[in-house]
């Protein structure tokens, strides 16, 4: 779901980079849409609307490392569409990433199942559980 970041996940994201606003962003975008209008198809009512919003979400996480600009595709920052059971907007970004970082909250009781993500492009999956060092 969107907007369900735990404090531990927020802290982890801050270690990766800076949370930036996509609208008006002028640097490397990692394929994220920086425009503010999108076509929304309502599968329930069969309506098509031009909606003002952020197609790739409002925020993302960005950093620089050794002259490389890196934009992270953060699942909870990408739009979640109730009417889209396949979550195409999320899949088109995360499904095409070569490296996927899996964050597991400390209170999560379910083990990570690598078969959860299937893609021809994902080559490495890094799983990270948060350990509070304070």
Q: Model's pTM, two decimal places?
A: 0.73
Helix (H, G, I), strand (E, B), or coil: what is residue 102? strand
For the purposes of burial, counting CB atoms within 10 Å of the CB of 132, is it exposed (0-12), middle (13-18) or buried (19 or more)? exposed
Give the confidence band of 97 by pLDDT, cuts at 50, 70, 90: confident
Over residues 65-77, the mean pLDDT reads 93
How does residue 112 score in pLDDT terms, banded at 50, 70 and 90?
confident
> Distance between CA atoms of 124 and 105, rounded to whole angstroms?
20
Band of pLDDT at residue 34, cut at 50, 70 and 90: confident
**Would the pLDDT of 18 be above 90?**
yes
Q: How is domain 7-129 classified at the CATH fold level?
A: Rossmann fold (3.40.50)
The string of DSSP codes covering 32-93 is ----SEEEEEETTTTEEEEEES-TT-SEEEEEEETTEEEEE--GGGS---TT-TT-HHHHHH
- More confident call, 50 vs 40: 40
| Model pLDDT, residue 81 | 82
Instruction: Quote the pLDDT of residue 100.
Output: 82
């Amino acid at each position: 779901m969107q907007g369900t970041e735990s404090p531990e996940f927020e802290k982890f994201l801050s270690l990766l980079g800076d949370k930036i606003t996509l609208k008006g962003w002028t640097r490397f975008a990692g394929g994220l849409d920086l425009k503010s209008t999108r076509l929304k198809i309502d599968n329930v009512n069969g309506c098509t609307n031009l909606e003002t919003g952020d197609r790739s979400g409002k925020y993302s996480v960005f950093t620089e490392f050794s002259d490389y600009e890196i934009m992270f595709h953060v699942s909870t920052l990408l739009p979640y569409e109730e009417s889209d059971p396949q979550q195409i907007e999320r899949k088109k970004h995360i499904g095409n990433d070569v490296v996927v970082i899996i964050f597991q909250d400390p209170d999560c009781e379910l083990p990570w199942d690598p078969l959860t993500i299937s893609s021809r492009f994902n080559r490495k999956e890094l799983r990270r559980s948060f350990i509070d060092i304070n």
